[in-house]
């Protein structure tokens, strides 16, 4: 009888092992699709240009400041677009800036004080649309030109002295009036 019990135990154990199903394996979980994939923190984001005054056409042909300086009268009636680096800015209102490209420079006033460039624009690239101002006095900004309540008004020297101090040189002889400015970076 012992043999029978032993044989029966063996048969049951063998049958039990063969009939026991493996537990089901879970399906791999797939992440749900997201609407937008976040950008990697190391990817640089393109900065949008700060646009001031009248819009400047993206396709507008650009003219170097040296070309404008060759025939300033032509550009006093014909608007043009130029690009350069801002080398100085009015620290009282942002009503003027000095612009320098590869070979030329210009003193740029904002048309009718209708808009102002940021006081922190120095060192940034800018795109300017405007015309040449006929030189009346040749001093660029005008001695005595002052903003009420500003240091300019107190020292009576005007924008010219402020620009000369920032630049460490006299103002650019070429003077522009900007109808539109884009601060690019």
d(C-alpha 177, C-alpha 139), whole Å = 15
Looking at residue 17, the DSSP 8-state letter turns out to be H
Give the number of C-alpha atoms closer than 13 A to the C-alpha of residue 38, restricted to the C-beta side. Answer: 3
pLDDT in tens, 14-50: 555 554 555 566 665 555 555 554 454 554 555 689 9
How long a stretch of residues is the chain? 185
Q: Which residues sit opposite 100 in a β-bridge?
A: 85, 105
Question: Residue 137 corresponds to which tokens in the numbers above?
Answer: 């006095």
Domain locations along the chain: 50-183
What 3-state class would DSSP assign to 48?
A: coil
CATH number of 50-183: 2.40.50.140
- By 3-state DSSP, what share of the chain in percent is helix, strand and coil, each rounded to 5? 25, 25, 50
pLDDT in tens, 94-153: 999 999 999 899 999 999 999 999 999 999 999 999 999 976 544 445 444 445 544 444
């Amino acid at each position: 009888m012992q043999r029978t019990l032993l044989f029966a135990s063996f048969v049951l154990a063998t049958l039990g092992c063969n009939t026991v199903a493996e537990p089901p394996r879970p399906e791999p979980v797939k992440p749900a699709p997201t609407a937008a994939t976040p950008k990697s923190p190391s990817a640089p984001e393109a900065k949008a240009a700060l646009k001031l005054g009248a819009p400047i056409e993206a396709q507008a042909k650009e003219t170097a400041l040296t070309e404008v300086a060759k025939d300033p009268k032509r550009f006093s009636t014909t608007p043009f677009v130029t690009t350069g680096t801002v080398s100085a800015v009015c620290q009282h209102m942002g009503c003027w800036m000095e612009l320098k490209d590869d070979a030329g420079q210009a003193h740029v006033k904002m048309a009718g004080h209708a808009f102002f460039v940021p006081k922190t624009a120095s060192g940034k690239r800018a795109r300017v649309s405007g015309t040449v101002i006929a030189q009346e006095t040749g001093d660029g900004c005008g001695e005595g030109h002052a903003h009420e309540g500003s240091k300019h008004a107190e020292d009576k020297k005007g924008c010219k002295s402020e620009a000369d101090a920032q630049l460490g040189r006299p103002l650019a002889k070429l003077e522009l009036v900007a109808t539109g400015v884009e601060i690019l970076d």
